[in-house]
Amino acid sequence: MTLPHVHIIGTGLLGTSLGLALRRAEYPVTLSDQSPTAVRLAADMGAGTAAEPSTADIVVVATPPDVAARTIVAALDTWPEATVTDVASVKTAVLAEARTLTGDPVLARYIGCHPMAGREKSGAIAARDDLFLARPWVVCSDEDTPADRLAAVVALAEATGAAVVHLDPEFHDSAVARVSHAPQVLASLMAGRLKDMPADGVALAGQGLRDVTRIAASDPGLWTQILAGNAAEVRAVLADVRADLDALIGALDLEPGALATIAGLFAAGNEGHDRIPGKHGQAPARYSSVTVFIDDTPGALARLFTDVGELGVNVEDIRIDHATGIKLGSVDISVIPSAQVTLTEGLAARGWWVPEAAIDTEGRE
- Evaluate whether 119 touches 93 at the Cβ level (below 8 Å): no
Candidates 1-9, 55-63, 113-121, 144-152; binding stretch for its own copies (CB under 8 A) = 113-121
Choose which of 25, 108, 164, 185 interacts with its own copies (CB under 8 A).
185
Residue 258 Cβ vs its own copies, minimum distance, rounded to whole Å: 8
Region from 25-33, 35-43, 94-102, 128-136 binding its own copies, contact rule CB under 8 A: 128-136
Please identify which residue in 151, 190, 336, 341 interacts with its own copies, judged by CB under 8 A: 190
- For the chain, the C-alpha Rg in angstroms (whole number) is 25
| Contact in structure between 112 and 60 (CB atoms under 8 Å) | no
Asked whether position 227 contacts its own copies by CB under 8 A, the answer is: yes
Cα–Cα distance measured from residue 135 to residue 218, given in angstroms and rounded to the nearest whole number? 19
**CA within 13 Å, CB half, 161:** 16
Q: Is 7 helix (H, G, I), strand (E, B) or coil?
A: strand
Give the interface size with its own copies as a residue count (CB under 8 A). 146
Among 129, 159, 287, 290, binds its own copies (CB under 8 A): 129
Going edge to edge, which strands form the sheet with 288-295?
Answer: 288-295, 328-335, 317-322
Among 31, 72, 107, 138, binds its own copies (CB under 8 A): 138
Three-state DSSP state, 64: coil
- 26 or 362: CB nearest its own copies: 362
- Whichever of 83 and 92 has its CB closer to its own copies, that residue is 92
Residue 210 is a binding residue for its own copies (CB under 8 A): yes
Q: How far is CA 140 from CA 22, 99, 167, 169, in A?
A: 21, 15, 5, 6
CB of 131 to its own copies, least distance (A): 9
- Interaction mask 293-312, its own copies, x per CB under 8 A: x--xxxxxxxxxxxxxxx-x
With beta carbons less than 8 A apart as the criterion, state whether 215 and 270 touch.
no
Min separation Cβ 16 and its own copies, Å: 11
H-helix segments, 252-339: 258-273, 300-310
Interface pattern 266-285 for its own copies (x via CB under 8 A): xxxxxxxxxxxx-xxx----
Q: How far is the CB of 24 from its own copies (least distance, A)?
A: 11
SS (H, E, C) 210-277: HHHHHHHHCCHHHHHHHHHHCHHHHHHHHHHHHHHHHHHHHHCCCCCCHHHHHHHHHHHHHHHHCCCC
User: Which residue in the set 224, 336, 337, 349 belongs to the binding site for its own copies (CB under 8 A)?
Assistant: 224
Strand-pair category, 6-9 with 58-61:
parallel
Q: Looking at beta carbons only, is 74 or 215 nearer to its own copies?
A: 215
Phi, psi of 49 (to 5 degrees): -100, 130
Q: Which of residues 320-359 bind its own copies (CB under 8 A)?
A: 320-326, 328, 330, 355-356, 358
Which of 52, 151, 211, 349 lies at the binding interface for its own copies (CB under 8 A)?
A: 211
Among 51, 74, 265, 348, binds its own copies (CB under 8 A): 265
Q: Is 25 in the site for its own copies (CB under 8 A)?
A: no
Contacting range for its own copies; rule: CB under 8 A; set: 55-63, 122-130, 142-150, 152-160: 122-130
Q: What minimum distance in Å lies between the beta carbon of 271 and its own copies?
A: 5
Q: Which of 9, 238, 290, 343 binds its own copies (CB under 8 A)?
A: 238
Which listed residue (186, 286, 342, 348) binds its own copies by CB under 8 A? 186
Candidates 30-38, 77-85, 149-157, 235-243; binding stretch for its own copies (CB under 8 A): 235-243
Contact between 145 and 168 (Cβ < 8 Å)? no
82 near its own copies, judged by CB under 8 A: no
Is the CB of residue 304 less than 8 Å from the CB of residue 294? yes
Contacts of 82 by beta carbon, 8 Å cutoff, 6+ apart: 7, 55, 56, 57, 58, 59, 75, 76, 109
Contacting residue, 89, 174, 288, 340, with its own copies by CB under 8 A:
174
